[in-house]
Chains A and B, each alone.
Chain A
């Protein structure tokens, strides 16, 4: 058991933290939101220069060879900054799919391009009817000569609007909610028959609805084995759960610090509101919740590479419930203790609140994961 960072990890953390502190003031963030993509193209290049975009990739692919702990350090910093860039979508979700399922050609073509900041990915798996059920895929892929054609639609695809390539799941056989028979495809963003409608989510990050209408895909763009996409999808979701957990930790830290600061300075009835025991105890409860949430986010990080699939799935569900509940409590109470100002668009705390809400509804919410754990009680 060990909770220490290595020297290299500490260096990484320092450089990411410094970059975010320098460049991601809340006012700067407002200007990034106004850029065409809805995030900062300049910072994306900085991430590439610092090696963050290749962080989890092997050195032969221009990567850093980092593991889940390195990802955690970067995601915590992104969470503190409320970063808008498609890091999770490209490096974690798309990158994990390519790393786990891609053949040598695909990895050589894509991973270095990501690492250099030349290519962005999206992971298009969720569908309107599926809710959180990862095996519910109605989009179809049918053989067509030497390739395939895809038909269907994908919903709330994170950063689907700015991606250059999209990992799309489609059913090649079986019934709509069979785990078997799902195949992953690499689809060019400008492929004929693919329509993308980009929009902003409640937390101002970007997403897209995709409509696939006879989209042609070559055999070379099949990602992994035909019909065996489901275990890869699960691993991608789990990598996402771990990365988002770290992001939530960063967000909770910031909300708690802001609220504490507010309690020290905001005066009512002639004294700082933080001198009221009811406020003090709420802040203490937020601290306890945050620490419990941090522990569960660590559990997710430490479980990304757990070889036992059942154990890994169980830890991920526990983590998602644990950090989800912590984030909900901390974020709601942050608004409550700020009072009216916490409700406003101009003030940062409500933005963290909404980021936590979006994360809670990504890859299974608290009720969904608690239900999965409950089903195993025997």
Chain B
């Protein structure tokens, strides 16, 4: 047993770190450092740089452009990328649709989509949740009726992140409303967002930003060749997609970056006549978060190294622990960074006060983003299976209750 990285792992980490340092465009780095979410063009630009290096789809099989890295190496890569901070690989492309097509896609689907997904020539989004089907995904109602070589899709999807940026959407639809079990009447379709009949309506979230959308389908014609896997077997695909690639799910790099930002700002703001970083209560909060971060880091090593040993590819139910604890930590760090601002956490600096600024104010920009990410990351314990659903998974898979 040894918690330290091997010399090879350290060399790999240094290689990744150096590559990011030398290749991440300066303007992207600076915006990320201030805590801004990456813009569409930032994510595209960085993923293409990584793709040229051969690093855009780390866990895909090598023959599809993967890296052949071990799970530990993949974890190192993800954490280094987040901590840089650099834009994350677009998960819809890399951890979702790519592996799905590799596992279930036709040769034609693979040829048409995989390279483009890796290079972010197509931006994918995920059409799963519906107004009446959130945690209970199998309750979905969006219907696809077969008409010759086409499905005709009617219904709506909600919480569709980045649909307004997307070229394509993978969508769960109901193809058999009379199936004995709800899960048995669902199919998985690839839908071109330019198809007539699709309307994207923005949903502004509590951070005041537009990340989310509602997507309406009105008599949308989708070629049958765009169905993945058999008709009415889409649930298998969805389960595979949700269970696939859990390395990095704890998002420790993001938490680490946020606590670093909180400490940096706490050196600049004063409380009771001295820098906030010297305040006992603040320090205890930092210390507690750092303890929890260390524990999660080691738990992540344990899950990843167990995953490296077992080759059957089934998701480790302990990855639910990483999701719950990782998002709790993410929320604790963003909460701390927000609290650093004190009264300055309240204004919407970028939107309301830009006109008053005579010169760039790095602290105000940092605080703007601290409050923003605090607000937005309340979603962290909701998306990707709420933390309550994760506890249900643990109850069934580990506790067997």
Binding site for B on A (CB under 8 A): 1-5, 69, 260, 263-264, 274-275, 277, 280-281, 283-285, 287-288, 291-293, 295-296, 298-299, 301-302, 318, 321-322, 370-371, 373-378
CB-based closest 7 A-B pairs: A295-B298, A373-B287, A374-B283, A284-B391, A284-B394, A377-B283, A280-B395
Q: How far is the CA of A287 from the CA of B280 in the complex (A)?
A: 31
Query: A291-B299, A375-B283 are contacts. A69–B395 as well, Cβ < 8 Å?
Result: no
B268 at interface by CB-CB < 8 Å: no
Is B288 within 8 A of A291, CB to CB? no
B295 A322 Cβ-Cβ under 8 A: yes
CB distance from B363 to the nearest CB of A (A): 19
Minimum Cβ distance to chain A for residue B249 (Å)? 14
Say yes or no: B392 contacts A280, CB within 8 Å. yes
Stretch of B3-11, B92-100, B159-167, B211-219 with 4 or more beta carbons under 8 angstroms from chain A: B3-11
Contact status B395-A283, CB under 8 Å: yes
Contacting pair A263 B291 (CB below 8 A)? no
Asked if B284 and A374 make an inter-chain contact with CB atoms under 8 angstroms apart, the answer reads: yes
Q: Which of B9, B280, B309, B399 sits near A374, CB closer than 8 Å?
A: B280
By beta carbon, the residue of chain B nearest A272 is B401
- Report yes or no: A291 in contact with B321, Cβ–Cβ below 8 A: yes
- The chain B residue with its CB closest to the CB of A302 is B3
Q: Which of B81-89, B101-109, B144-152, B300-308 contacts A (4 or more CB under 8 A)?
A: B300-308
Given known A-B contacts A1-B72, A3-B302, A3-B305, A263 and B395 have beta carbons under 8 A apart: no
Interface class of chain A by DSSP: helix
Given the interface contacts A280-B392, A292-B325, does A298 sit within 8 Å of B298 by beta carbon? Answer: yes
Distance of A163 Cα from B6 Cα, bound (Å)? 42
Once the chains bind, are A285 and B401 in contact (CB under 8 Å)? no
CA distance A4 to B72 in the complex (A): 15
Nearest CB of chain A from residue B122's CB, rounded to whole Å: 36
Tell me whether A299 and B3 are in contact (CB under 8 A).
yes
Q: Which residues of A contact B284 (CB under 8 A)?
A: 370-371, 374
Given the known inter-chain contacts A5-B1, A291-B321, please indicate yes or no for A283 contacting B388, CB distance below 8 A: no
Tell me whether A296 and B294 are in contact (CB under 8 A): yes
Bound complex: CA A355 to CA B1 (Å): 27
Docked Cα-Cα span, A281 to B388, in Å, equals 8
* A287-B290 in contact given A1-B2, A374-B280, A374-B283 (Cβ < 8 Å): no
A32–B200 alpha-carbon span in the complex (Å) = 72
- Determine if B286 and A374 form an interchain contact, defined as CB atoms under 8 angstroms apart: yes
Q: Is the CB of A1 within 8 A of B296?
A: no
Which residues on B sit within 8 Å (CB–CB) of A264?
A: 401
Tell me the bound Cα distance from A318 to B305 in angstroms.
Answer: 22
B301 with A1: CB separation less than 8 A: yes
Which of chain B's residues have a CB closer than 8 A to the CB of A318? 290-291, 294
